[in-house]
Amino acid sequence: MKLEEIVQFLDDFLGIREWEDKSNNGLQVEGKGDVRKIVFAVDACMDVFVEAKKRNADMIIVHHGLIWGGIDYVKGIVKKRLKFLLDNEISLYAAHLPLDAHPRVGNNAQLLRLLEIEPEEQFGTYKGKPIGFYGKLEHSMKLNEIVEILRNRLNEHLVILDFGSDVIEKVGAVSGKGAFALTEAIEIGLDLFITGEAEHGAYHLAKENGINVIFAGHYATETLGVKALMNIVREEFAGEIEVEFIDVPTGL
């Protein structure tokens, strides 16, 4: 496939142009014009780049890209990363907020679907637009049942603030560094708020408002979107491109 055709599909599917984002979403580094293999990962880092080369990838699609607002200097780690991609003609495509908020493949919709919850409404306003989703369980569950599902299917190392009801019905999710949305989660009456990165300031806010919070890891909660997007790309370009996921967990 031609690189430009893949980029056009991704830009349209993810609605890249609809977002004001510090991340430079879309094609950040242009490599070879013909693409036969794409790898997907959470972070644009040397571990991913080296593994991509080993797997003979022509393109990398990530959630956290290299360019956030612009490049000030091409030296140090910036030079090292860019040089590696350019020398090996590997393209880099980033989808940050558009991948968090996408109703089909987004991190937050996918987090809810781990619990068999269909996303109903958005919340978690960031830069003027909601990026999270919430919905209701078809049948209420105990908090410890949800904890077990998330441990088995997402991340063994959860941080749990069990300050709310033990019976869970209404659940919301904002992946990654999503604790900013806790106040909104309280206002809309969630029984459980799931996010990624544990933040100290959330503890007393959750306790004093009687809400359960699960911190499931920044990295872990943001593997879901790139994996779901990978499946879409596999279907869209069936028989024309090979796709793989590169797992480089940070434990955070």
**Count of CB atoms within 10 A of residue 168's CB?**
21
Please check whether residues 131 and 198 belong to one and the same domain: yes
Please check whether residues 82 and 104 belong to one and the same domain: no
Please indicate, yes or no, if residue 28 is contained in any of the structural domains: yes
> What is the pLDDT confidence band of residue 127, given thresholds at 50, 70 and 90?
confident
CATH of residue 7's domain is 3.40.1390.30
Q: Among the three residues 43, 60, 95, which one is the final residue of a domain in this structure?
A: 95
Please check whether residues 47 and 142 belong to one and the same domain: no
Give the pLDDT confidence of 36-89 residue by residue, as tens digits. Answer: 999 999 999 999 999 999 999 999 999 999 999 989 999 999 999 999 999 999
Please indicate, yes or no, if residue 134 is contained in any of the structural domains: yes
- This model's pTM is above 0.75: yes
Give the pLDDT confidence of 101-120 residue by residue, as tens digits. Answer: 999 999 999 999 999 999 99
Q: Among the three residues 38, 69, 95, which one is the final residue of a domain in this structure?
A: 95
Please check whether residues 62 and 137 belong to one and the same domain: no
Short-list 139, 195, 127, 197, CA closest to 168? 139
Decide: 42 and 247 in contact? Cβ < 8 Å. Answer: no
Please check whether residues 24 and 54 belong to one and the same domain: yes
Q: Among the three residues 69, 95, 121, which one is the final residue of a domain in this structure?
A: 95
Give the pLDDT confidence of 172-221 residue by residue, as tens digits. Answer: 999 999 999 999 999 999 999 999 999 999 999 999 999 999 999 999 99
Please indicate, yes or no, if residue 240 is contained in any of the structural domains: no
CA–CA distance from 167 to each of 160, 192, 198, 211, 233 (Å)?
Answer: 15, 10, 23, 11, 38
Please check whether residues 162 and 214 belong to one and the same domain: yes
Short-list 235, 196, 194, 231, CA closest to 40? 231
Please check whether residues 91 and 152 belong to one and the same domain: no
Tokens of 224: 């879901």
Please indicate, yes or no, if residue 15 is contained in any of the structural domains: yes
- Assign 173 to helix, strand or coil: strand
Question: What is the domain count for the chain?
Answer: 2
Please indicate, yes or no, if residue 82 is contained in any of the structural domains: yes
Short-list 147, 141, 154, CA closest to 111? 154
Give the pLDDT confidence of 148-180 residue by residue, as tens digits. Answer: 999 999 999 999 999 999 999 999 999 999 999
Which residue range forms the structural domain that includes residue 212?
100-221
Helix spans in the chain (H)? 3-14, 46-54, 76-87, 97-101, 107-113, 143-153, 182-187, 202-209, 218-221, 223-236
Please check whether residues 123 and 74 belong to one and the same domain: no
Q: Which residues lie closer than 8 Å to 82 by C-beta, 6 or more apart?
A: 29, 66, 74
Please indicate, yes or no, if residue 181 is contained in any of the structural domains: yes
